[in-house]
Amino acid sequence: MAQHTPSHSSLVTVLSRQALRSRSPPHPPAHAYTKNVSGCIRTYLGGAALEKTMSVTQLRARGVPQPVPRVTADTLLQKKLSSHPITAITAYDYPTARLVDDAGLDMVLVGDSLGMVVLGYENTLPVTLEEMLHHTRAVARALRRAFLVADMPYGSYHASIDDATRNALRFIKDAGAQAVKIEGGSQRAELVRRLTEAEIPVVGHIGLTPQSVHSMGGYRVQGKTLAAMDRLAADAQALEDAGAVAIVLEGIPRELAARITHQAAVPTIGIGAGPDCDGQILVFHDLFNLTFSPPTKFTRQYADAAAFFTSALTQYRDDVAQHRFPTDAESYHLSREVQSAVATAHPRARKA
Ligand code: KIV
């Protein structure tokens, strides 16, 4: 066991007094949080934060009045009626959802594309209810304005209507979603009706429905024949009649999307369905080159986040490997008082 010499214990006393003095100040008032959202960046650029001891995300202030009204299903309908395009994107976590919300998009979908773009699954089929709930909660904590829709994963609404209703309620009650999305047309009409009766707004999803990858025989554009066009138009009508508040049209010809959009009383939101839908949605990772694959025909890459991250990561790796990070300025220091106590206690210790 180590011998506690008097000089060692006095060092301990000095250190604990020091620790007491340097305790974090009380939390700043609520309004200070929103002003300091760039704290991490400012720290990196030169260090405005004096003694920020944890790299934590600055959360939104709670209990502060919302400066902007929340987008609702009715807001989306008003946009359709006034021919203002609905802007939508997927998000799966707190920081990206917050960026999306601050950028003013109308709708955020916690899509089960999560399985492929975030969790590394081969397709959306293995995504579980618990995974979707977990990510929906994170996104809900970030959003103030955007309409939050959560995807019901494969298997969570296929066994029975009662089972599906219980699962859908969890998205609204526990996870903070404002609506759920389910894939399928006429065959889901009864379910949409029951969920709507349970006060759960439902977004339908027809066309290329990724959860049907096996029955579709792959990811193929749907609705390319006259019969298939009529079927999809009837599906949209059935969803609308059952109470769906909006319908996602995925992977269908522009002409069919235009026909459905024109006929539907509820907004259509397209992905790979051309420009005539009432709104557009894309997968977040497609916009930023974060899918490790070439962009598809219907996506547009707005920035190369992969190149941005890779450049920063290799610089960081090199800085550590070459002893350039961290510098003395990026290190904490003992006070002069404690330094001299250390020098007295350990006279032969090497000076830093
Ligand atoms: O899961 C998802 O991201 C989706 C969109 C493609 C609409 O369903």
Reported confidence tier of residue 63, pLDDT bands at 50, 70, 90: low
Confidence check: pLDDT of 209 > 80: yes
pLDDT the model gives residue 51: 66
Q: Which residues line ligand 1 (CB under 6 A)?
A: 90, 109, 111-113, 151, 248, 250, 271, 281, 283
Residues of the chain above pLDDT 90, percent:
79
The CA distance from 140 to 313, in Å, is: 29
pLDDT the model gives residue 68: 85
Q: Whose CA is nearest to atom 4 of ligand 1?
A: 111
What's the whole-number average pLDDT of the chain?
A: 87
Q: Whose CA is nearest to atom 8 of ligand 1?
A: 111
Contact in structure between 195 and 161 (CB atoms under 8 Å): no
- State the distance from the centre of ligand 1 to the C-alpha of 181, rounded, in angstroms: 9
Ligand 1 atom having least distance to the Cα of 210: 8
- Stretch among 35-39, 175-179, 286-290 having the lowest mean pLDDT: 35-39
Domain 73-287 has CATH 3.20.20.60: yes
Two tokens, residue 33: 């949080």
Ligand 1 atom having least distance to the Cα of 90: 3
272 against 66, higher pLDDT: 272
Residue tagged 């006393």 (tokens)? 13
Tell me which of 86, 89, 90, 182 to substitute to probe ligand 1's pocket, judged by most ligand atoms within 8 Å of the beta carbon: 90
End-to-end CA distance of the chain: 27
Averaged over 21-29, what is the pLDDT? Answer: 38
- State the distance from the centre of ligand 1 to the C-alpha of 326, rounded, in angstroms: 42
Averaged over 20-25, what is the pLDDT? Answer: 38
Does this model's pTM top 0.75? My answer is yes
- State the distance from the centre of ligand 1 to the C-alpha of 294, rounded, in angstroms: 18
Query: What single-letter amino acid sits at 293?
Result: S
Contact in structure between 200 and 168 (CB atoms under 8 Å): yes
pLDDT the model gives residue 31: 37
Q: Whose CA is nearest to atom 5 of ligand 1?
A: 111
- State the distance from the centre of ligand 1 to the C-alpha of 113, rounded, in angstroms: 6
Q: Whose CA is nearest to atom 1 of ligand 1?
A: 111
The secondary element (H helix, E strand) that includes residue 108 is: strand 107-110
Which of these is catalytic: 250, 255, 330, 337? 250
Confidence check: pLDDT of 146 > 70: yes
Contact in structure between 282 and 289 (CB atoms under 8 Å): no
The CA distance from 113 to 77, in Å, is: 25
Tell me which of 87, 132, 283, 299 to substitute to probe ligand 1's pocket, judged by most ligand atoms within 8 Å of the beta carbon: 283
- State the distance from the centre of ligand 1 to the C-alpha of 67, rounded, in angstroms: 29
- Stretch among 57-61, 234-238, 256-260, 325-329 having the lowest mean pLDDT: 57-61
pLDDT one-digit tens code per residue, 69-82: 999 999 999 999 99
| Domain ranges for the chain | 30-65, 73-287
Ligand 1 atom having least distance to the Cα of 111: 1
Active-site residue flag, 197: no
Confidence check: pLDDT of 14 > 60: no
Averaged over 320-327, what is the pLDDT? Answer: 98
Residue tagged 């829709």 (tokens)? 149
Reported confidence tier of residue 6, pLDDT bands at 50, 70, 90: very low
